[in-house]
């Protein structure tokens, strides 16, 4: 077994990859043994931190998203910017509080939720971004009670920050309502949630099979939560209008 292979087997993957350069640098600088060991330790820590971040990002399922630097704060008619920025600083995580983003389609609530999840991953937390429908499809597909319990434990115990997008876009039957309630209830006062919805809480009974289940969910969601309402016209509609206007102007110049 070569020295490269021995280092890799010991878990010093980065050192095994740069060994030749390390030896050359140590020789050129006439580094002592303690200095060499300190450099190896520092480089390994940096590499492992980077790989840990990459793993958490991959597991988070955040996908591609626009950074908050691209968010047009002046477009919404109403948005609590200090509250959003507080959420992005993850101040709610310390006390297992929740963030609920309430807005019509196209006002950036999903973008904000993705950025919160990304901030959590960068800060060393585990996070998962998923839609409510994807979560429920996964839970409903479990064929045994044991498998269902395992998945519930994953969503409720193993994920530091769970982001549920698009609550309110689809109606729920009794089973889906029960499963969603279990996830929210098991995380209640233990781990934080970020929820996005296009519906005011007064309209939630319209998507659940009965008023009791809606009230129970709202009670768990609202308690210890920051409710951030965003009002205004859709960004996407504005972008479509600007694009159409640009095309008309171009045709006018070409004619």
| pLDDT higher than threshold 90 for residue 246 | no
Instruction: Decide if 101 contacts 109 (C-beta within 8 A).
Output: yes
Give the pLDDT score at 39: 87
Residue 138: band (very low, low, confident or very high) from pLDDT cuts 50, 70, 90: very high
Is the pLDDT at 244 greater than 60, yes or no? no
Architecture in CATH for domain 68-237: 3-Layer(aba) Sandwich (3.40)
Report the percent of the chain where pLDDT is more than 70.
92
Give the tens place of pLDDT for each residue, 200-237: 888 888 888 887 778 888 898 888 899 999 999 887 66
**Paired tokens of 122:** 């960068």
- What pLDDT was estimated at residue 36? 86
pLDDT at 54 over 80: yes
- pLDDT of 243 higher than 80: no
What is the model's pLDDT at position 19? 84
Instruction: Indicate where the chain has its CATH 3.40.50.300 domain(s).
Output: 68-237
């Amino acid at each position: 077994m070569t020295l490269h292979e021995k280092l890799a087997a010991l878990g010093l993957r980065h050192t095994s990859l740069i060994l030749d350069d390390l030896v050359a640098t140590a020789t050129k600088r006439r580094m002592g043994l303690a200095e060499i060991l300190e450099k190896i330790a520092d480089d390994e820590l940096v590499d492992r931190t980077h790989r840990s971040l990459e793993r958490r990002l991959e597991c988070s399922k955040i996908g591609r998203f626009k950074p908050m630097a691209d968010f047009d704060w002046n477009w919404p008619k109403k948005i609590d910017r200090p509250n959003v920025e507080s959420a992005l600083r993850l101040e709610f995580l310390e006390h297992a509080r929740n963030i609920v983003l309430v807005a019509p389609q196209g006002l950036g609530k999903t973008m904000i939720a993705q950025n919160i999840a990304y901030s959590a991953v960068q800060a060393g937390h585990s996070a998962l971004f998923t839609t409510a429908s994807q979560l429920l499809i996964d839970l409903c597909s479990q064929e045994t009670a044991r498998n269902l319990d395992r998945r519930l434990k994953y969503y409720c115990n193993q994920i530091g920050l769970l982001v549920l997008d698009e609550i309110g876009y689809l109606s729920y039957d009794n089973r889906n309502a029960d499963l969603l309630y279990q996830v929210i209830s098991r995380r209640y006062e233990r781990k934080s949630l970020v929820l996005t919805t296009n519906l005011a809480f007064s309209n939630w009974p319209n998507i659940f099979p009965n008023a009791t289940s809606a009230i129970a969910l709202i009670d768990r969601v609202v308690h210890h939560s920051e409710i951030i309402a965003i009002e205004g016209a859709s960004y996407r509609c504005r972008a479509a209008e600007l694009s159409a206007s640009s095309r008309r102007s171009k045709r006018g110049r070409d004619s």
